[in-house]
Amino acid sequence: MNSENAPLSPSSKPLLRALKGEAVWPPPIWLMRQAGRYLPEFRAMRDKADFLTRCMTPDMAEELTLQPIRRYGMDGAILFSDILILPWAMGQSLEFIEGRGPVLGAIRSAADLQRLDPKRVLEATAPVRETLSRLSKSLPEVTTLLGFAGSPFTVACYMVEGGGSRDFAATRQMMQTEPMLFDRLIETLTVSTAEMLCGQIEAGAEAVMLFDSWAGILPPTAFRRYVIEPTRQIVRHIREKHPGTPIIGFPRLGGIMVREYAEQTGVNTLALDTVADPAQIAELVPEITLQGNLDPMALFSGGEAMIREAKAIRDALKGRPHVFNLGHGVMQHTPPENVGALVDAVRAV
Ligand SMILES: Cc1c2[nH]c(c1CCC(=O)O)Cc1[nH]c(c(CCC(=O)O)c1C)Cc1[nH]c(c(CCC(=O)O)c1C)Cc1[nH]c(c(C)c1CCC(=O)O)C2
């Protein structure tokens, strides 16, 4: 067999190479929430089934994962699922309500926590692994398949609050008044998240991402205890079983604390939020891969300003391992053509 039709080795995937620490130029690109309501083909599927059904039906989840790959040829395909699948799999009630977001049966006491059953997780998430295993066959050869989970702290925020919140007051109060209960919740989530991510890797995920969307609401001592330490444990557990699989950490709005996070958790890649200055962070953290961090509003608005901002980020990180992405998810009414223009701009050399 000559080299032209030899099967591609994993290292010929630009995103995987960048996640493993190589400065690939131009940087590979994928976007958080690239499968979403801004795509007409996504909205068409939405009328067919509720969100949980779409996540837990391999046919649908596979199709939804593939939609942005077909349209834009992204370098990464992120599994269509949600961070709240984990509490749901443990037995917490979960509903996604139009215009309101997720609604869960709030965990406020030891008895509430006791009712959850982490032993159910493996079986309840079997369809997710089936989706990944189908995707590893249906994706283009150059595309990297990404699994993910929420980080224990962010998932705990939704579990305690019973949904989204402006300030997650009930969660922060539980940390103060019932630290043993909150610690137990975090420990339960840490173990289950590590196991779930290993399962995703065994089913075909080539890298995994930990979303810690609310890390930035914590003071430093709590950030170390509830963000850095659980992440470190999850990374250690995954490394023991799957030493070569890259792990992306996203401690959103972590500010200067991202330095300790990058030094101490062992993640391969630090995902930057919209507020982070890429050049400054590059100075601050060890030589790991950086991911990010265009403002989703720049993508929403498009035009020359978007292209200028995207190129400034790309050029600021030139020479260093970088994965182009947003600083947070794609906004709901983003014009799909702006996403195409962004991909072209990032790839134009
Ligand atoms: C906090 C959080 C959640 N989910 C997620 C986070 C972390 C990232 C972040 O900070 O945004 C992560 C997530 N959610 C979803 C994905 C799938 C893959 C992708 O990025 O394309 C991923 C990686 C699908 C989704 N998750 C959700 C949708 C929309 C539901 C629908 O289409 O009916 C999608 C496509 C619902 C969801 N899920 C969640 C909320 C708060 C909501 C409601 C808000 C909203 O509707 O946008 C919890």
Span 189-236, pLDDT tens digits: 999 999 999 999 999 999 999 999 999 999 999 999 999 999 999 999
Nearest CA to ligand 1 atom 47: 101
* Distance from residue 65's CA to the centre of ligand 1 (Å): 13
Whole-model pTM?
0.96
Nearest CA to ligand 1 atom 42: 101
Contacts of 187 (CB under 8 A, 6+ apart): none
Nearest CA to ligand 1 atom 21: 33
Instruction: Grade residue 14 by pLDDT with cuts at 50, 70 and 90.
Output: very high
- 174: part of which helix (H) or strand (E)? helix 169-177
User: Of 20, 62, 75, 38, nearest to 331 (Cα)?
Assistant: 38
Nearest CA to ligand 1 atom 29: 36
* Distance from residue 328's CA to the centre of ligand 1 (Å): 11
Among 34, 37, 55, 83, residue to substitute to test ligand 1 (most atoms within 8 Å of Cβ): 83
Q: How does strand 144-150 pair with strand 322-326?
A: unpaired
Q: Which residues of 164-184 are buried (b: 16+ CB within 10 A; e: fewer)?
A: ebeebeebbebbeeeeebbee
Q: Is the pLDDT of residue 10 over 80?
A: no
User: Of 43, 50, 84, nearest to 64 (Cα)?
Assistant: 43
- Please report the pLDDT score of residue 236 as a whole number: 98
Q: How does strand 289-294 pair with strand 269-271?
A: parallel
- Percentage of the chain modeled with pLDDT above 70: 97
| 55-64 own/partner pairs: CB under 8 Å, 24+ apart | 55/80, 55/81, 55/82, 55/85, 55/128, 56/85, 56/127, 56/128, 57/127, 58/127, 58/130, 58/131, 58/134, 61/127, 61/128, 61/131, 62/131, 62/134, 62/135, 62/138, 64/35
Residue 105, token pair as written in the block: 């049966």
Q: What is the pLDDT of residues 111-141, one digit of tens each?
A: 999 999 999 999 999 999 999 999 999 999 9
* Distance from residue 82's CA to the centre of ligand 1 (Å): 6
Residue 282, token pair as written in the block: 């590059």
- Please report the pLDDT score of residue 1 as a whole number: 37
Would you say 298 and 277 are in contact if contact means Cβ atoms under 8 Å apart? no
What CATH number matches the domain at 3-347, 3.40.50.720, 1.20.1370.20, 3.20.20.210, 3.30.1060.10?
Answer: 3.20.20.210
**Residue 33, Cβ density class (10 Å: 0-12 exposed, 13-18 middle, ≥19 buried):** middle
Which residues are catalytically annotated?
33, 37, 46, 82, 158
Q: Is the pLDDT of residue 2 over 60?
A: no
- What is the residue-wise DSSP string for 190-247? HHHHHHHHHHHHHHT-SEEEEEETTGGGS-HHHHIIIIIHHHHHHHHHHHHH-TT--E
The C-alpha atoms of residue 285 and residue 261 are separated, in whole angstroms, by: 9
Averaged confidence pLDDT in the chain? 96
Residue 6, token pair as written in the block: 């030899």
Q: What is the pLDDT of residues 232-281, one digit of tens each?
A: 999 999 999 999 999 999 999 999 999 999 999 999 999 999 999 999 99
| Chain centroid to CA 109 | 29
The C-alpha atoms of residue 323 and residue 32 are separated, in whole angstroms, by: 12
Q: What is the pLDDT of residues 280-317, one digit of tens each?
A: 999 999 899 999 999 999 999 999 999 999 999 999 99
Q: Which residues are annotated as a binding site for substrate?
A: 33-37, 82, 158, 213, 328
Q: Which is the closest atom of ligand 1 to the Cα of 332?
A: 47
The type of residue at 91 is G
Nearest CA to ligand 1 atom 20: 33
* Distance from residue 80's CA to the centre of ligand 1 (Å): 9
* Distance from residue 5's CA to the centre of ligand 1 (Å): 39
* Collapsed DSSP state (helix, strand, coil) of residue 22: coil
Among 85, 96, 200, residue to substitute to test ligand 1 (most atoms within 8 Å of Cβ): 96
- Residue 309: other Cβ atoms inside 10 A: 17
Q: How does strand 76-78 pair with strand 144-150?
A: parallel
- Percentage of the chain modeled with pLDDT above 90: 95
- Please report the pLDDT score of residue 88 as a whole number: 98
